[in-house]
Structure 1
């Protein structure tokens, strides 16, 4: 029987930053935390390494030579739902929203605490079922089955959503948000609770809660017939969001 640390490959993280000092620090810290780490210094090299190594998560600086982080994220999202954490010296809400709109899973302004970055990596990898160690992690929804939302079919085993047999591409974070909101249809889920459940940290500033709003908007854009007049995910002003049943909306265990 293989030893525990050989039972499952360790998560591989691609670090992309044009600052050698940042790459060195992250390489050292993340390797000590048990990850396999590869590093790139520009956007073109990042894409080459991504295709060759197929990492489990990407830590991506926004301001890069040759191809900036936003362009890299856009290219990755065209072909993959790999989790992406943006790093940037640009800490405005508009920059953060721009990054999240492209499909990033989180956004950490520079200068940042390596410890905080490690915590966010752990949270995201736990959500997608990977970690630095070998232990299996439970399903984000705490169960298995099929969720039917009107003409949508949500397969919680495969983490896939289809409409009329056509798959709707969701990132790991978008799918986890869908599961959280529809776990108890009709319950108002505060934005702070969504942030802590999905991103693993409490809100420290207004921009943190804006992350939730951006992701709800992205999810509506993919699932709602008319995102400006949502029928599935309702806004409860000043509090958070609530899911609404359309047709059959129940989690059928084992279905």
Structure 2
């Protein structure tokens, strides 16, 4: 959030005009504040042209401009590197928020049937549903699966998956981004792709993961 954006926000009078008061607490209680969870990692903030400390300060400034007597407290949510899932849900869990998300429809829990990777058909199914992996994401997952249990360096991944001269060769930092996106799409099974500190990445099969290799030559063209 930039200060230019803050300056264009509607005034309190604009927001509250013709709006009936909202009572969301039981009788005998009073509202003393609120918690706003912001799901954004350092990389996403930098991509938007701001760092996290500056973003926190901008939000604090906004609160102070709207309510000069408001007090603020900021807490940083830490999570294991590469953990899949929505950023805001990870933040809530990290900060021990166990309350259900407000104003969101209650969805039926997904029946966990495991992760099935069909290398022959180039398909990945998660709990019975086809996962929307890009070509590069599937190739990355396949590359790791076919080297199950072995740590693969970022340099090996670059050499294998980006050997085509028609595409720009990424750096090792970019590989981390690709792995993060892959884990996010793996959802609850994101931990099958493990980070080996100082080494690279490794595929570790869980009991609820099925690999189908198909018939014919190895799908690993590398």
TM-score bucket of the superposed structures, by smaller chain: 0.3 to 0.5
TM-score, normalisation: structure 1: 0.36
Larger radius of gyration: 2
| Highest RCO, 1 vs 2 (Cα 8 Å, sep ≥ 6) | 2
TM-score, structure 2 as length reference = 0.41
The structure richer in strand per residue is 1
